[in-house]
Chains A and B, each alone.
Chain A
């Protein structure tokens, strides 16, 4: 009996000392690398961008990163930072508070984002002025803990974001997996909603939140803005696909690769010869990533 359990539930645990270090041979130090307090230039002809400050007529750095120059504007982009919202970005967020005519949404930004009652589509898609009835029903539509996909409508002066979900592709998210990567790894592209041929849908939020769920067939439709939730159990096959995708994306993120649909699909295909849970093993991860990198170079995506 004991042996049976052990053989069925084998767990792969490694000592910290025997783990492969993820360090790779570093090429020579990157040019234009600066750390806080460095002087970029004492020429006053330049404009001060993000990550810099002016003191004694000299332009200093305030973060560690690479200097970027666009004409006369100098900025320093830190390697890792919180999400900086821009109008038009697709984000995924979690409702943390229901307030007066607005929801507070956590989007891994510096301040909580705001979703106004007037900038959501009501269930049923009717367009009208929001009445007091709607205000009372707010918690019925979206309550604390719900996940939503939304678009950035505007940025307030203090950096807080105002979101909207006035399109049927945005709205409440149902059953699926959320994962979080660094916001700098998500490319800004024309589309962030993908129906992958492996039978899963993916939303790549610009804020580094990624949503994976099984693709729902068109006739049942997601055209309700997500208010009608389908809570049918997801089949095992779908769950495995989603789990595999999740592990593939995490593997890519661990190797600092930019995330976009074709790249993720290549990784997914490269991982197919391994069981889902093995993808997280460092050596398997490295192999899959190498295959993906090679394929991307060959196909020149």
Chain B
């Protein structure tokens, strides 16, 4: 990748952000009527839809039911048109299976699973447009959808990625920065208590730099949390506004 400068001398990244800046986040809650909860999020050019169904009776094989907690069932998929190259993506491929598993682990940790024994919560995530940080956007969208469904969680789960380019940690990396071969650190946290629920690292990063990059990623999740919280508050006050005024 010679000639491609991820961080300019002036300290700007390719898309004009500073190292610690997130991409623009836009989100909406309650976009589907049919689902119990749903959300749509745009993080820069990464666009993700999430829908939550449940808690409901276990569908399919009864044997999967857990007698003391709810079964969290996730499904991650990418649209054929989500990347630069149009490609059919069957749901069962390795990449999305892995992503599905990671989402399941993340939400198992955040949802108060003990409240709904013998039932099931389905979380469906669809990436409509992919520009890096698919896991992060998926987690953030799914969090909003779970909140919209009124399912109790310990806290929001927010995810953010970070990388390390020319001795500077950079946050919320785009596809270009992701594919340049540098290290990638993906972290999902419960932002209020700063507990890490998920941590993944791709390619090598020197141990001395790990804490710097991790700190920036965790700070990134807090920034994400701030944006999501605003959106949830706005949505909830909008919906409950007329319910209160109309009570006669």
Contacts and interface: CB of A to CB of B under 8 A. Distances in A.
* A and B form one complex: yes
Interface of A: 23-24, 26-27, 29-30, 33, 35-38, 51, 53, 55, 60, 62-66, 78-82, 110-112, 158-159, 184-185, 255-258, 263, 293, 296-297, 300-301
Nearest to B229: A35
B119 interface: yes
Interface centre among B36, B154, B247 (most CB of A within 10 A): B154
Contacts of B208: none
Contact of A257 (B118, B232, B238, B242): B242
Interface of B: 30, 36-37, 54-57, 112, 116-119, 147-156, 190-193, 229, 232-234, 236-244, 246-248
A284 B192 CA distance: 45
Nearest to B70: A110
B118 A35 contact: no
Contacts of B237: 26-27, 29-30, 33
B152 A51 contact: yes
A36 B156 contact: yes
Nearest to A158: B117
A112 B152 contact: no
Given A29-B233, A65-B236, A60 B154 contact: yes
A60 B112 CA distance: 12
List 10 tightest A-B contacts by C-beta distance, closest first.
Answer: A78-B150, A37-B155, A81-B150, A62-B152, A256-B242, A37-B192, A112-B57, A257-B246, A110-B55, A36-B153
B138 to A, nearest CB: 18
A258 B245 CA distance: 10
Contact of B248 (A78, A111, A301): A301
B153 A33 contact: no
A62 B150 CA distance: 9
A26 B246 contact: no
B192 A80 contact: no
B160 to A, nearest CB: 17
Nearest to B192: A37
A111 B58 CA distance: 8
Contacts of A82: 36, 54-56, 150
B192 to A, nearest CB: 4
A67 B116 CA distance: 22
